[in-house]
Amino acid sequence: SQTIHQWPATLVQPVGSPLSLECTVEGTSNPNLYWYRQAAGRGLQLLFYSVGIGQISSEVPQNLSASRPQDRQFILSSKKLLLSDSGFYLCAWSVWGAYEQYFGPGTRLTVT
């Protein structure tokens, strides 16, 4: 069966520090991968999605970036965090061509 992992579960980082969140998927090949952010009390915002290794589509201009170095690995990064980067970060995967997305447990990031 397929599983999706995200770590860390929680993170507290000072403003201006770098960020790296990792997401891995097991039990499937060539998945579509997604990064979402949910600010406190707000809806889900799609940040990036990827349909293959090295292929990244950005949805919102910001100081975040994403990379997909391996088929089932998706990384969210920032060189310098802002206070507004605080939120709940969710990774998701789907089979190519399908719209059922399966979400990871999320990382709760607090920038202080």
Partner 1 sequence: DAKTTQPTSMDCAEGRAANLPCNHSTISGNEYVYWYRQIHSQGPQYIIHGLKNNETNEMASLIITEDRKSSTLILPHATLRDTAVYYCIVVLQGAQKLVFGQGTRLTINP
List of residues 6+ apart from 109 with CB closer than 8 A: 10, 11, 12, 13, 19, 21, 85, 86, 87, 88, 89
H or E segment to which residue 23 belongs: strand 19-26
Within residues 8-67, the interface with partner 1 by CB under 8 A covers 32, 34, 36, 43-46, 49, 51, 57, 59
- Looking at beta carbons only, is 14 or 97 nearer to partner 1? 97
List of residues 6+ apart from 70 with CB closer than 8 A: 53
- Looking at beta carbons only, is 89 or 111 nearer to partner 1? 89
- Looking at beta carbons only, is 14 or 98 nearer to partner 1? 98
List interacting residues with partner 1 (CB under 8 A): 32, 34, 36, 43-46, 49, 51, 57, 59, 88, 90, 92, 97, 99-106
